[in-house]
Amino acid sequence: MVYIVEDDEAVARLIRSALEKYDFSVDCFPSGAALLRQLQQRTPGVCVLDLGLPDMDGLEVVRQIRARHAFGLLILTGRGDTYDRVAGLELGADDYMVKPFEPRELVARVRSVLRRYQPLTAAGDGRRVAEFAGWRFDTATHDLCSPQGVTDTLSLAEATLLRKLLERPNQILSREQLLDGRNLDALDRSIDLRVSRLRKRLEENPQHARLIKTVYGAGYLLCTEVVWR
């Protein structure tokens, strides 16, 4: 199920038509309040959210969603400045598109976001727990246990990123690979923001990272051995 939050009826119809053409089930909501009421009853696989809503700012909707729910969230808006893009991603949106948009690209991005929310497994062989550098990560529960024995639960975006790095340790992974192969434009900082959040959990000094290293012009590298159990 995909929820569309868009007050412009013509745009909402365009989005609905594009998604239904590829067999998505769709519900539309004209305001942030209408969406939040519906979320008390049922959550979607992905929500496509406009920021320019008539009753509340879309970034506040993102904030309230991420305080209570874990599902795919794609911002689709006319607000294309860097501040809104970065703020939306930092608050927990999975992707950000600016209007006008190509319907087929929207469908591809919705599919990409959905893939990130599929149940996590380790290398497809039934193993679910990764041990690395004194840390222990459970891909089923998203629990991350520190070398000191302190357990925290990662967000879905953080868990998906960590899994990708753990499955290919000591290999350089491009930003595109870490975002399911989606092409990135020059302003897209979503993967960089997620790496930054993950470093804050794993590194004593995130500014001088030892585990997740930046390979400038190439991507990111997890510098440790990983044992799956």
Residue 61 has phi, psi (to 5 degrees) of: -65, -45
163 vs 116, which has greater pLDDT?
A: 163
Contacts of 79 (CB under 8 A, 6+ apart): 51, 52, 98
| Residues 55, 104 within the same domain | yes
| Residues 140, 40 within the same domain | no
In a domain, 123, yes or no: no
Q: How many domains does the chain have?
A: 2
Tell me, what's the pLDDT at 28?
Answer: 97
Q: Tell me if the pTM is above 0.75.
A: no
Domain boundary at 92, 116, 140, which? 116
pLDDT above 70 coverage of the chain, percent: 91
Whether the pLDDT of residue 4 is over 50: the answer is yes
Contacts of 159 (CB under 8 A, 6+ apart): 120, 137, 139, 142
| Residues 139, 104 within the same domain | no
Q: What is the pLDDT of residues 62-77, one digit of tens each?
A: 999 988 888 899 999 9
Residue 40's domain is classified under what CATH number? 3.40.50.2300
| Residues 104, 24 within the same domain | yes
| Residues 102, 54 within the same domain | yes
Q: What is the pLDDT of residues 102-131, one digit of tens each?
A: 999 999 999 988 887 765 444 445 568 999
Q: What is the pLDDT of residues 15-67, one digit of tens each?
A: 999 999 998 999 999 999 999 999 999 999 999 999 999 999 999 999 999 88
Show the domain range for 186: 129-228
Domain boundary at 71, 93, 116, which? 116
